[in-house]
Structure formats: C-alpha cells, structure tokens
Chains A and B, each alone.
Chain A
Amino acid sequence: MDTSEDILHQASPDLVRGSETARRKRAARLSPSFVSWLQAGPMMLVFLAFFLIPLVFVVIVSFWDYNEYQLLPALSGRGYTDTFEGCIAQLPELCTIAKTYLKTLKLCFMVWAITLFIGFWVAYFLAFHVKSKTWQMGLSLLCTIPFWTSNVIRMIAWIPLLGRNGLVNSGLMKTGLINHPVEWMLFSEFSVVLALVHLFTFFMVVPIFNSMIRIDKSLIEAAYDAGATGFQTLVNVIIPLAKPGIVIGSIFVITIVMGDFITIGVMGGQQIAAAGKIIETRVNALQFPAAAANAVILLAITFLIITMMSRIVDIKKEL
C-alpha cells in the first residue's frame, strides 16, 4: 500500500494542476449532507429492512389470531391470553410463564455474577499488570480468538469432559473421591451456566478492559501516595472509573442470556425451560402470534432491565 510519502510524490503533480476546478465542480454537485446520506444510507436501509420493520411486525403479529397452520390477520389478544393461561386461576401457584421467567432470571443472575467476577479480574490483569503493549495485545488476542469460533462447537466441547464417562468423572473416580459417575454435570442447569460463562465472559472483558485502559495511572499513584491501601484504591478509584465498562458488559451478558435458547437447549439437553425457548417452541408449532407475543414480553423485560442499569450509572455520574 501507499505510504504518505509515496502519496505526495505520486499525487502532487496532477493534483496541483487540475484539481481546483474539479473540486469546485464536485462541491457544486454533491453537498456535504448528501454525501453523508450516501455514506450512511445503505447501513440505515439494512437496519430498517432487517431490524426495525421486523420488530414492528413482531408487535403487529402478536395481536393477530391464528389456527393450527396459519396466521389470521385479525385483531386478537389470543397470543397473550394463551401465554398467560392460568396465571390468575392458579393463584397462589405460579403459572408456567411466570415460573419460566423466574428460572431465566435466576440463570441470568448467576451467569452475570460469575462473568462479572472473571471478566473484571481478567481485564484488571490485562490493563494494570501487563506493562508491555505487545504482551497486552497478544494476551487480549488470546482472549478474543475463541469469540471468532463457533459457539456450538464450544458447547459440545464440554461433552467429553463432563459426560458420564468424561474426563472429570473418570478423574474423580480414579482418585477415589466418588464411586459412581456424577450425573449432574452434563445436561443440567450446571452445564448451562458453565457453557454460558464459557461463551460470554468475553463480552464482559472487552468493555471493562476498555474502561480500565483509559484510567489515568497517576490517579492510582495519587491514591497510593495519599496512603490508600490496595483495596481502598480498588473500591474508591478503579471500580468507579471502570463502571461504564461494567455496565456495558453487564447489559451484553444479561440480554444474551435472557434471549438465549441455543445454549440452554444444547447444554440443558432440551429439558430446561427459558424465555427464549418458549419463542422457539411456539414457532416450531407454527403459532406465530403466540411466539410474537412472547417476543414482545421478552423485549419489554429486557428493555426494563437495561433502563434500570443505565440509570444506575447516570445517577452515579451526576453525584
């Protein structure tokens, strides 16, 4: 590729001659705002056609009627009433949808807490303990590469380790810690949480690292000079300054887990109910309005969580 030095040599002779008029012509033809539209327009169109309009359709279709095999474009609340079936009649017992959402929130909370812990310390190590830029790049890359490989493969990769005859079980049997293979390690809530942590800690590491790398090192030195202990510096200087990253990472992890149906399906042996799985089940049964109604509910709850989280940070910033 050309370097700036080459450019000057190559470009200047004819540039100097003909460009002034050419530039004026072009400027007359293309106003800056038109150029901006030309540049940003295609991406906007993609989001319009494949994201914004589809979301509108989800909301519209959630109010349509349906029978065994097709959509009926007539106003109906059936998608929602079917979803909340029994929620009032069964009180004080929880209905299926409420139980499913509680379960999803519980999974979400566990994965969030673990990924936050791991992500924070991994980012901390990379940002503050790795001094050389080259090492920092290399180690960050080491954390990123798995993100570029297949999620399903990274899920099934646990099978030979956690299964009935897997490495962990045979290892534990050999050491005599257990007599029978442990069954709860695979196709269980445990394996779901493990796989989710395995897949998505990356989403925590990157934003937290980004926040930490921007922290002025002299602030930390100042804290030490003023007599703060390592722990005090962490709590009073580093964590507050890393908060934007922590919140962004948390939003990523929570929205991913709330909508997940693949990891929960594969690692839960298709036995664990979750918010995302309801949608998949309804689609497979061709009950599109019910699927859409569930999507609207999931979207609303996810949006609520995000709003709450972004408020925490803004308030703290105001103080």
Chain B
Amino acid sequence: MKEGRPRSFYVLAIFFAAYVLFLYGPMIAIYVLSFQGPQGGLTFPMNGVSTFWIAKLFQGTGIVDLGAAFRRSLLLGVIVMIVTVVLSVAAGMAFRRKFKAQSILFYSAIASLIVPSIITSLGISLEFRIIDDLIKAHWSENFETSMGLLTSGLGAHLTWTLPFGLLIMFAIFNRFDPRLEEAARDLGATPWQTFRHVVLPIILPSVIGIGLFGFTLSWDELARSSQAIGAVNTLPLDLQGLTTTVTNPDIYALGTVISAVSFTVITLALGAIHVLNKRQVAKGSDAGKGLV
C-alpha cells in the first residue's frame, strides 16, 4: 500500500499546479509588462525592455503624486500593524480566561469580518459626518472635518485587520501548553514576567504573522477605505482610480512598485518567523538531553 502514489495523487497534483499557475500567472505578466520599453503598450509582446515607466513614476511626472500617497499608505500600514499586534495579543490573552462580554467581543469580530466592507465604510463615514455636524453646530463654525487618514481611515482598517489578529491568537493558544506558565508561576514569576519571559518568546513567530497580516491587509485595503478615508487617497485608491483612464504601462509600473513593498514585507516577516522557529527548535527544549 505504501509503494507508489495512487493515480488520484497525480490528477490532484496537476490540478493544484494549475491553480497555482492561475494564482500567479497574471501577476507575473504585469510585473514583466511594467518593464516595457518607452514605446510599449498595455499588452504583450514586449516592445523592448526598460525601466522607463517605473522611473517615470518616481519622477512624479506621471499619473499620480506617488510620493505622497506612498508615504500615507506606509504610515497607515505601520500604525495599523502595531495597533493590530498589541490589541490582538492583549485580547487573545483575555480569551484564555472566562470574562463577561467574551461572546460579545467574539461575535463583533466575526461580524466585522463578514459584514460587507461597503456597509462598514458607509457607516463610519456617516458617523464622522454626524460628529462634524455636531461640532459645527455647537462649538466651532469653521471646523472642517474630523475624518482623515488616522481617525476614520485607521478605524476602518482596524475593523478588517483585528478579526484576523484575534483568530490567529485563538489558533496559537489552542496548541499552547499552559503547564509552561504554571511552571513559571510555581517558580515565583509575576504575571508580567510569565508573559514576557515564557509566553511571548513562544508565541513570537505567530505574533509576527499577525503583524504581517496587519500591514499587508492595510497596505492593500480598498473597500473600507473608499468612503472612510477622508479627503486624501491611499495608494490602492489611486491605483483603482487609474483603472478607468490609463492607456499606457504606468499603471503596471505602479502595481509593480506596490507589490514590491508587499513582497519585501512578506519576505522579511517569513524570514523572521523561520529564524525564530529554528532557534526554538535548537534551544527551546532540553528534553532527552539528560542532565544539564
């Protein structure tokens, strides 16, 4: 029974390979096309190879004010990442004990994940409009708006990233051995010391995973930003705006630059996770090594 693989293996392996090709093929096509020559168009074949379109993007003579949108998206992404990591780890710890409102928080997170983004986005924009109207009516006539990148925009992104963070924490603590904490407690560690020296080092690889989700989901977020971001645009919103008007490859160049940031972050995060996991395997346990 163990020799050879069943025929279904090969059929499904081909199916899987086709799926992976389907996932990556089109993406790779536009990365290649963003290196079109200056005379090149939106489709294959390539008309020479150059960095003309990417350079044009960075000169700022192109279609959007790339620099400003880039900095805004990066700033928002980093803040969303930090807040997502801190709040998810904290809430994940809370869920290990029973507490009141536990199920309210859980269902809020799940609902936030599956209620269509456009509704959440619309709700946030209405909320801030009403706050604006109240401020204008009662305090300051000249008040502009409380909506913005780091108020309504940040909130909108968090409603998308926090559920992922919380679900990852559940997955972590599902396979976390509570005896490690008991041992620390028995040795007299305070709750904070137990967390800092026992729990955190063990869950750190997955916490980096939460950070990865936090940043990349915010960096590419579109549907929730659409109504709630205020007057300025993030990079994906600029990109979406271009889809209806642009006729030359600078849209691909912009796509490639955005993806380059995503892939850099993904590589860094996965690299860090890999290194941490290796260290844990190498040094984490002295089981079976005899007396130390």
Contacts and interface: CB of A to CB of B under 8 A. Distances in A.
Asked if A and B are interacting partners, one says yes
Interface of A: 1-5, 7-8, 10-12, 15-16, 19-20, 22-23, 26, 32-33, 35-40, 42-44, 46-58, 61, 71, 118, 121-122, 124-126, 129, 139, 141-143, 145-146, 148-161, 163, 165-167, 170, 198, 201, 230, 251-252, 255-256, 258-262, 266, 270, 276, 279-280, 283, 288, 291-292, 295, 298-299, 302, 306
Given A3-B280, A46-B158, 12 more contacts: A35-B191, A42-B91, A43-B109, A43-B166, A47-B162, A54-B123, A57-B123, A148-B266, A165-B41, A166-B43, A256-B116, A262-B223
Nearest to B280: A3
Contacts, number: 303
A18 to B, nearest CB: 9
B139 interface: no
Contacts of A122: 15-16, 19
B90 A42 contact: yes
B124 A54 contact: yes
B115 A55 contact: yes
Given A44-B101, A298-B116, A261 B223 contact: yes
B12 A54 contact: no
Contact of A295 (B93, B101, B118, B197): B118
A33 B126 CA distance: 35
A258 B119 CA distance: 11
- Among A20, A50, A170, the most chain B Cβ lie within 10 Å of the Cβ of A50
Interface of B: 5, 8-9, 12-13, 15-16, 19-20, 22-27, 29-30, 33, 41-44, 86-88, 90-91, 93-95, 97, 99-102, 104-105, 108-109, 111-120, 122-127, 129-130, 133, 152, 155-156, 158-159, 162, 166, 180, 184, 187-191, 193, 197-198, 201, 204, 212-213, 216-217, 219-220, 222-223, 226-227, 236, 239-240, 243-244, 251-252, 255, 258-259, 262-263, 265-266, 270, 276, 279-280, 283-286, 292
B101 A40 contact: yes
A198 B120 contact: no
Given A149-B259, A149-B263, A129 B187 contact: no
A61 B129 CA distance: 11
A40 B99 contact: yes
Contacts of A139: 16
A44 B108 contact: yes
B13 A125 contact: yes
Given A58-B122, A58-B126, A262-B223, A160 B44 contact: yes
A306 B114 contact: yes
A192 to B, nearest CB: 14
Nearest to A144: B266
Nearest 9 Cβ contacts at the A-B interface? A259-B116, A54-B123, A50-B155, A157-B26, A36-B99, A39-B94, A40-B94, A148-B216, A19-B188
Contact of B244 (A16, A56, A270): A270
29 contacts: A4-B285, A22-B190, A36-B99, A39-B90, A39-B93, A42-B86, A44-B105, A47-B112, A48-B108, A52-B108, A56-B123, A58-B123, A125-B16, A129-B9, A148-B213, A148-B265, A150-B220, A150-B258, A150-B259, A150-B262, A151-B220, A151-B222, A154-B27, A157-B255, A161-B29, A198-B23, A259-B119, A266-B243, A283-B122
A121 B12 contact: yes
A216 to B, nearest CB: 17
Contact of A255 (B95, B115, B188): B115
A39 B240 contact: no
Contacts of A53: 123, 127
